[in-house]
Amino acid sequence: MFSQTAIAPAARTALIPIAAITCTKGRLTELSFFASYPGLLGTAFSYGKDEEIYGDGEPAAYVYEVMSGAVRTCKLLDDGRRQIGAFHLPGDVFGLESGPNHRLTADAVIDTTVRIVRRRSLEAATQNNIQVANALWALTARDLRHAEDHMLLLGRKTASERVATFLLEMDRRLTVAGMIELPMCRRDIGDYLGLTLETISRVLSQFQSEGMLGLSGARHIMLRNRQRLRGMNI
């Protein structure tokens, strides 16, 4: 049984059988890490928009995989500001920790379903299956690369370069039929890029006026000049 402190109260009432989860093109649960290995199927829970999945400092007893929706991991600073470290999309594994506790808070960007696997079960699988160990190493290396890239983005890039980098990342991860459908709002994007909401809106409008992208509402974006955006992603 899952501990009462590890799962948010609302999520405990939203247990969903794994077999009932389906996927659509662009939201690829068929890329599931856990489903590839017997014994790591775990249990699926649903979380509502902005609902906390786990908190900063809580015991890291479970590892999570996004099945549908999106998750943000973030740190709340003492002055009330929020820094988002990563957005986790369908197929992404998150909650891997080197220590006993979580260092960030994770919550659902939109209505989200995650697969939850006991950390000790994953650790046991790595000892008994070299494929699991290698796959987990690859996931850890990917997360480290992302953290290094994000540190560079926050420390050295201009506002326009940060937004261009973000758009190219989402283009790679989310584009379906030529259109990026963002699950996150502009405030989330700003907290991820270390920019104000006003700056995000200004840069997107500038990119649109310069013909680099087309906007359809607040969260639907079509990239029209990837080469120019890549030139800014230095």
Q: In this predicted structure, what is the pLDDT of residue 230?
A: 94
Residue 6 pLDDT: 45
Whole-model pTM over 0.75 = yes
DSSP the chain: ---TTTS-HHHHT-EE-GGG---BTTB-GGG-SGGGSTT---EEEEE-TT-EEE-TTSB--EEEEEEES-EEEEEE-TTS-EEEEEEE-TT-EE---SSSB-SSEEEESSSEEEEEEEHHHHHHHHHH-HHHHHHHHHHHHHHHHHHHHHHHHHHH--HHHHHHHHHHHHHHHH-BTTBEE-SS-HHHHHHHHT--HHHHHHHHHHHHHTTSEEEETTTEEEES-HHHHHHH--
**More confident position, 11 or 90:** 90
* CA gap 58, 39 in Å, rounded: 25
Q: pLDDT by residue (tens digit) across 43-97?
A: 999 999 999 999 999 999 999 999 999 999 999 988 889 999 999 999 899 999 9
For 205-215, what is the mean pLDDT? 96
pLDDT digits (tens, 9 = 90+) for 158-189: 999 999 999 999 999 998 878 999 999 999 99
Q: Is the CB of residue 84 less than 8 Å from the CB of residue 73?
A: yes
> Is the model more confident about 124 or about 84?
84
Q: How far apart are CA 219 and CA 207, in angstroms?
A: 15
> What are 130-142's pLDDT values in tens digits?
988 998 899 899 9
- Predicted confidence (pLDDT) at residue 14 exceeds the cutoff of 60: no
Taking alpha carbons only, the member of 97, 36, 100 closest to residue 64 is 97
**Confidence at residue 20, expressed as pLDDT on a 0 to 100 scale:** 33
Give residue 18's pLDDT: 35
What is the average per-residue pLDDT within 212-234?
A: 91
Query: What tokens appear for 9 in the block?
Result: 């109260």
pLDDT at residue 17 is higher than 80: no
pLDDT attached to residue 25: 35
Count Cβ atoms below 10 Å from residue 127 Cβ, excluding itself.
9
- Check if the beta carbon of residue 45 is closer than 8 Å to that of residue 14: yes
Tell me the mean pLDDT in the region 135-155: 92
